[in-house]
Amino acid sequence: MYYDLAIDSAFALLDESAEAHLLPTGHLIYGSSAGGIYTIRYNAQRHAVEGAPSPVVLDMQSNSAVAPFEITRSGTLVYRAGVAVEYHSLVRQTTGKMDTLPLAPKGLTFARFSPDGRSLALTIGSARGTNRHTDIYDFNLGTLTRIAQEGGAHSPIWSPDGKRIAYTAETTTTDAEDIFVQPVDHSAPPMAIVRMPADQHASAWPSDSVLVFSTNAAARLVGGTATGGTTDIVNPTGKSSVRPYLHASWGEFDVSVSPDGRWAAFTSNESSTPEIHVRHFPLDEAGGQWKVSTGGGQRARWSADGRTIFYQNVDYSAILATRVAAGPTFSVGATTTIVQAPHLGPAWDVDRATGRMLITEPAVTASARIVVMQHWLEQFRRAQAEKR
Per-residue model confidence (pLDDT) at position 220: 41
Per-residue model confidence (pLDDT) at position 120: 97
Per-residue model confidence (pLDDT) at position 226: 41
Q: Identify the CA nearest to 148 among candidates 120, 128, 168.
A: 168
Q: Compute and round to an integer the Cα radius of gyration of the chain.
A: 23
Give the mean pLDDT per block of 10 residues along the chain (388 residues).
66 73 90 82 85 86 72 91 84 95 91 97 79 91 88 92 95 88 94 89 96 73 52 85 89 94 94 93 83 95 97 96 90 96 93 96 78 92 84
Per-residue model confidence (pLDDT) at position 258: 97
DSSP strand pairing (243-246 vs 230-234): antiparallel
Per-residue model confidence (pLDDT) at position 36: 84
Which string of b and e fits 20-33 if b means at least 16 CB within 10 Å? beebebebbbbbbb
Q: How far apart are CA 19 and CA 28, in angstroms?
A: 10
Q: How far apart are CA 370 and CA 60, in angstroms?
A: 10
The three-state (H, E, C) secondary structure of 192-249, written as one string:
EEECCCCCEEEEEEEECCEEEEEEHHHCEEECCEEECCEEEEECCCCCCCCEEEECCC
Q: How far apart are CA 41 and CA 241, in angstroms?
A: 47
Per-residue model confidence (pLDDT) at position 4: 64
Per-residue model confidence (pLDDT) at position 58: 82
Q: How far apart are CA 129 and CA 32, in angstroms?
A: 9
Per-residue model confidence (pLDDT) at position 135: 95
Per-residue model confidence (pLDDT) at position 239: 67
Per-residue model confidence (pLDDT) at position 375: 92
Query: Cα–chain-centroid distance for residue 107?
Result: 11
Per-residue model confidence (pLDDT) at position 191: 92
Instruction: For residue 137, give the 3-state DSSP assignment.
Output: strand
Number of neighbouring beta carbons within 10 Å of residue 289: 14
Per-residue model confidence (pLDDT) at position 219: 41
Helices (H), the chain: 376-387
Instruction: For residue 293, give the 3-state DSSP assignment.
Output: coil
